Amino acid sequence: MASTKQQRVVLVTGANKGIGFEVVKKLLKESSSSNDTVILLGCRDLKRGQDAINQLGSPSNVHLLQLDTSSASSIAHATDEIKQKWGGKLDVLINNAGIVAKDNTADAAREVFATNYYGIKIINEHLSPLIKENGRIVNVASEVGAWTLHDMSNNLQNKYKSSSLTTKQIDALVEEFVSGIESKRLDELGYNTKFPYLIYGVSKVALIALTQIEAREWSGAKNVLILSVCPGYCATDLNNHGPGARSAELGADSILYAANAPANELENGEFYQDGKKKPKSSACNMDLSKLPKKNDS
């Protein structure tokens, strides 16, 4: 099925459940007709993805796209499929897929960064050339990243916040962080090891920083907006539907603001939550030690 000029083509990763699924549901409600918007439901597991489409009532404009965001070969295959089936064009890419660490080991950190940072970096490298003029790339980050950055040493904060930061430099910071877990040097490097979600938080620090770099480097020619967004602490499998969490529907609204708001209401490369620009570094306002932990996406 080839897209036409009138169709809006939106890809949502990690969309078979949780906040990603709610984003797809809301995109469906926004569509005036099945010809208005084509929604690509990105999912690692084809059966789970098909189950999600069935749950939506099998609408004609929602299509399953197998995409494991931690696999470069899967990302390349999905890119080829978009080129073959949907004219090789996207209006909006929503990088929603994400996981939390099951423990505090270097292996767990590598797994988290493969999805939450490196995977999104590779997806955006493959798919940014397909984004249409005035399109959007929305990287789903977290205010946990802002809290994590706030608790770092000033020297480390300055590295992540640098306006001249490059992707190679973020990669080096990430690699240093993972090796610091193995060598037990995280305190020496400037990280707050008492922070309960440190691995997840640092992955989101890296993603927010990556968003700024992508905005600086890619947005010019086609007026593409590249934004990071926090959906808020929502009740999903990611946190085992933790106490005090808000609904996944509200999280989806926060993401879709970045995808839908008029361009003049948004600042390229910035971090948003619930329609408002947020600081990339801020003090934590939750008791994270009481939150449940679960590794799922």
Please give the structure tokens belonging to residue 284. 């934590």
Burial of 54 (0-12, 13-18, 19+ CB in 10 A): exposed
Determine contact, residues 137/131, Cβ cutoff 8 Å: yes
Q: Which of 118, 200, 257, 272 is catalytic?
A: 200
Does the annotation mark 200 as catalytic?
A: yes
Pairing relationship of beta strands 8-12 and 131-140 according to DSSP bridges: unpaired
Q: Is 197 helix (H, G, I), strand (E, B) or coil?
A: coil
SS3 labels along 54-90: HHCCCCCCEEEEECCCCCHHHHHHHHHHHHHHCCCCE
DSSP letter string, 132-144: EEEEEEEEE--HH
Residue where the block lists tokens 């899967």? 74
Q: Is 271 helix (H, G, I), strand (E, B) or coil?
A: strand
Show which residues are catalytic. 200
